[in-house]
A and B are shown apart, each in its own frame.
Chain A
C-alpha cells in the first residue's frame, strides 16, 4: 500500500494553509487543566489521529473545536482567518462537523428522517429522502434510507451518524472514538470510507481514539496527548505501537497490558500465550443452564448456557447490545429468567429475588455502576457496606464509628484515594468509584465474581489495577465471569472465551485457540464450525 507516502507528499503541498489551526488552547475546570497550551493543525486531505488516555484532554479539545466548550485561552484559525466558535451552529457554518462517541439518533424515526433532524429549512419529503440516499451512495455507505433506526445494528447506526454529518458537506470532520460500538470488520469498513472521503474530496479529518491499532492503521499524522498537554506530534509512518504507547502513558508499559489497554488486538492474539491451564479437575462453581429471557417480545437471552469453574476466568465477548447487559442483570438479581436455571456452588438460586445472588456468593462489578452498583448520594462508607450494614450495627442501630473504621480499612486496602469515608460517593473520580465497588464486592468473600465492563472509562493505571485484581481473584479460587465488549480485555484476561451474539452463545474457544479472525466471525454472528480444525469456513 503506498498511501502513506502519497499522503505525505499531499501534506507537504498544502502545509502552507492548514484547514484548522488551534494555537495555545487552554481550558481549565477549577484546579484541573483539561487542555494546556495545545497546538494542533488539521490538514486537508489527511486523517489526523488524536491519541490519549481517558482524561488526557482529547474530548475537551474537540468540544472546543465544535463550539460545545469555550477555551480560556488560545486562538482557532479556520482557513486562514481567526474565529471564535460560540456554539455548534457556528461550527457547522464554518464547515466543522462531528460524529459523537455516543450516538444521538431517534430510534422510532427512519434513517432519512434522522439525517434531516435539526434542519431548519422547509423541505419536500421525497426530495429530501432522495438526497439522503444520494449522499449515502456517493460515499459508498450502503443503507436503506427508509429503515427504522431501531432495527439497525450499531455499525449501521454509526453509518447514519456519518451520513448525517457528511450531508452538510463539512470541510473538517471530527470523529470521537467512533469504533467503541463496532466490530473489527465494521471498524475496518468505516476507515475505508474515511480514507476515500479524505483522498477524493480533500477533507480534513480528526480521529479521536485511545486505541493504538486504529491510529496506526488509519491515520497520516498523530498527536499524542497526556494530562492535557501535547507530548508528541509525528507522521504515523514513523511510529510503532510501543513508541505510541510509551508517549501516551508516559512510561514503559508491558506489551501485554499496554496492548490490552490501548486496543492492539493483533499484538495480543499474536503474542505467545502462556501454557493453557486446565480447570477440568476444579469444581464447577457457576452454572447457567439454558437461560431464556424475553423482554418486550424480543428474546434477549436465548438458551444460554455458561459454566465457570473455580479459579477460571471465562470471558463473555460480544458487540454491545447482544445480551451482555441482561446477563449482568440476571447475576445481580435484577431480572427473573423466563426459563433456565442459575446454580452457584451446587445450589440453585432463584433469579430476580432481591439479594438472592448476593447471598449465594455472587459478587458483581456492574456494567453501569451508577445503575446498580452504588448510591451516588450516600457516603463512601455507606457504599462500602451497602450489603452488610448489619455487620457494623448492634440491635439494628448502626455504629458510625465502627462503620467508619471498617470503611477506612477497606479504602486503604483497595487504595481509594482523594476522599474520606464521609465523602459523597458521587464526588469521587470514576477510577476511585470503581475501586469502592470492587472493595465492597471482593470483601464479601464471594464464590463467583461477575465483572461487566470492569475497565470501561478508566485510564491505563486503573485498568492495570483492575486487571491484576481480577487475576488475583481467580488465583484465589473465585470463578470469574468477565463480560466485556473490549476484545483486548477478553484476550488479555480470559482462560476461556464465550462469544455472545443476539443473546445466544455463538461459540466457545480456549484462549489459546482464539485469533482475531475467528473471534471476528463469531462476533458478527457466524457460528463456530462444529469441527474447528478446517481452515476455511462456511463452505459446507
Chain B
C-alpha cells in the first residue's frame, strides 16, 4: 500500500531502540536481584539463551511451549476484532483441558486424540459462552465476567480432580491421594516430529496453519469483514445488518474455544506429563493474552512473539536449574515480559499524542472544537 515514508521508518527505529533499552534494563535488574539473593548472577543471559535455544534439543521444547501461547493469542485476537475484551483465557484453558482429559482418559486411539481436542474446543467455548450470555442477556461487561470465571474454573476443575468418577486417577498403586488425573495412554498422545536433534509435537505445525487461517478469515472473508465493522463501530454494524448479538457471542465463544483447544493441546502434547492437575494452566492463558497485546492483534505477528514468550518459559526453566531460586526465576521472567510490553505501549501512547492530520484539522471544525473546548 503506502510506501514506507521517513516518519514510519523513524517510528520503527524508535521502537527497536526501546526494545533494546527495556530488555537491557530488565536483564540488569534481574542480575542485581539474583546477586542480592546470593545466586550466580553473571550467567543470567547465558542461562536463558542456553535453555531457550543453544543447548541440544532446546528449541524444539521452545516451539512446543510457544504453541498453546499462540493458540490462546489467536483466540484473543478474534474477540478483540469484534470489540470484545476476553481476559479469561486462563480459566477457559483449564475447562477445555479438563474436558479433554475426560475424553482422553475414557477412550483410546487416534479418535480419542481428535475427541479430546474437540472436547477442549467445546469446553472453552462454553466457558466463554457464559460470559457472552451474561453480556447480551443482562448487559454484564465481558471484561468482568471472563475474569471472574477464571476463579470459578480453577475451583471447579479442582473439584473434578477429587472424584474418581470424574477426573481423579483411581490407580490403587498411587503413592498418595494428590489431585491428578490418570496419565494419558500412549495411544492418545500427539505424535512428535524429530528434526536436527530436536523434537516437537505436530501441534506446532497445526498452530502455524491456524495462525494463517485466522489471518485470512479476519482480513479476507466477508465474515471477518463484518466482525471488524462490529468491533470498530457497533452502531454502523447494526445498521448494515450485522446481527450484533449473534456475531459478538460467536466471537467471544470462539476466543474461549481457542483457549480450550490450547488446553487440550497442552494435555495431549505432554506439556504437563500427560496429566491434568490443579495448576495445569500455569499462566499460559495470561501469557497468551500478552502475546496478542504485544503483537497488536495481528495474527501472523503472534508467531514470533509467541516463540519469544515460549523461549522465556524454557529459558527461565533452565535458569532455575543453574541454582537460582524458583521464585526469583519467576520474577526474572516477569521482568522480561514487562520489558517486551513497555515498547509497544509507549509507541501507542506516542501515536495518540500526535496531532490529527492537517486535512482533518482544517476541514473538520466541529471535531477540533470538541477537542479544544
Structural contact, B232 and A377, CB atoms closer than 8 A: yes
6 CB contacts below 8 A, A to B, read: A104-B373, A356-B241, A357-B239, A358-B239, A382-B225, A429-B364
For the complex, give the distance between the alpha carbons of A355 and B370 in Å. 31
What residues of chain B lie closer than 8 Å to A428, measured between beta carbons? 359
What residues of chain B lie closer than 8 Å to A355, measured between beta carbons? 238-243
For the complex, give the distance between the alpha carbons of A422 and B365 in Å. 25
**A354's contact among B232, B241, B362, by CB below 8 Å, is which?**
B241
Structural contact, B241 and A359, CB atoms closer than 8 A: yes
Structural contact, A375 and B239, CB atoms closer than 8 A: no
What residues of chain B lie closer than 8 Å to A358, measured between beta carbons? 239-241
A55 CB within 8 Å of chain B:
yes
Given A355-B243, A375-B233: 17 more A-B contacts, CB < 8 Å: A30-B361, A102-B369, A102-B373, A332-B235, A333-B239, A354-B239, A355-B242, A356-B241, A375-B228, A375-B232, A375-B236, A389-B225, A396-B223, A427-B357, A429-B363, A430-B364, A457-B365
Specify the chain B residue showing the minimal Cβ separation from A400: B220
**A397's contact among B1, B220, B365, B370, by CB below 8 Å, is which?**
B220
Structural contact, B239 and A29, CB atoms closer than 8 A: no
For the complex, give the distance between the alpha carbons of A371 and B228 in Å. 16
Question: What size tier do the contact residues of chain A reach?
Answer: 35 or more
Specify the chain B residue showing the minimal Cβ separation from A68: B372
A509 CB within 8 Å of chain B:
no
Question: Chain B 337-373 against A: per-residue CB contact (8 Å), 1 yes, 0 no?
Answer: 0000000000000000000011111111110111011
A73 CB within 8 Å of chain B:
no
Specify the chain B residue showing the minimal Cβ separation from A422: B1
- Given contacts A354-B238, A397-B221, whether A375 and B358 have CB atoms under 8 Å apart is no
Structural contact, A55 and B363, CB atoms closer than 8 A: yes
Q: Please count how many residues in chain B sit with their CB below 8 Å of the partner chain's CB atoms.
A: 37
Structural contact, B242 and A354, CB atoms closer than 8 A: yes
B222 CB within 8 Å of chain A:
yes
Structural contact, B241 and A54, CB atoms closer than 8 A: no
> A residues within 8 Å of B by Cβ?
29-32, 34, 54-55, 59, 63, 68-69, 100-102, 104, 332-334, 354-359, 364, 366, 371-378, 382, 386-387, 389-390, 393, 396-398, 400, 418, 422, 426-431, 457
Structural contact, A32 and B222, CB atoms closer than 8 A: no
Structural contact, B222 and A393, CB atoms closer than 8 A: yes
What residues of chain B lie closer than 8 Å to A427, measured between beta carbons? 357, 359-360
B48 CB within 8 Å of chain A:
no
Structural contact, B365 and A55, CB atoms closer than 8 A: yes
B244 CB within 8 Å of chain A:
yes
Specify the chain A residue showing the minimal Cβ separation from B371: A68
B302 CB within 8 Å of chain A:
no
What residues of chain A lie closer than 8 Å to B242, measured between beta carbons? 354-355
Structural contact, A63 and B222, CB atoms closer than 8 A: no
For the complex, give the distance between the alpha carbons of A336 and B240 in Å. 16
B81 CB within 8 Å of chain A:
no
- Given contacts A378-B228, A386-B229, A427-B357, whether A398 and B221 have CB atoms under 8 Å apart is yes
User: Which residue among B225, B237, B242 has the maximum number of chain A CB atoms within 10 Å of its CB?
Assistant: B225
What residues of chain A lie closer than 8 Å to B238, measured between beta carbons? 332-334, 354-355, 372
Structural contact, A457 and B239, CB atoms closer than 8 A: no
What residues of chain A lie closer than 8 Å to B373, measured between beta carbons? 100, 102, 104
Minimum CB–CB distance from A382 to chain B (whole Å) comes to 7
Question: Chain B 88-120 against A: per-residue CB contact (8 Å), 1 yes, 0 no?
Answer: 000000000000000000000000000000000
Structural contact, A378 and B369, CB atoms closer than 8 A: no
- Given contacts A68-B372, A398-B221, whether A354 and B363 have CB atoms under 8 Å apart is no
Specify the chain A residue showing the minimal Cβ separation from B370: A102
What residues of chain A lie closer than 8 Å to B361, measured between beta carbons? 29-30, 32
- Given contacts A29-B358, A387-B240, whether A378 and B229 have CB atoms under 8 Å apart is yes
- Given contacts A102-B370, A386-B229, whether A398 and B365 have CB atoms under 8 Å apart is no
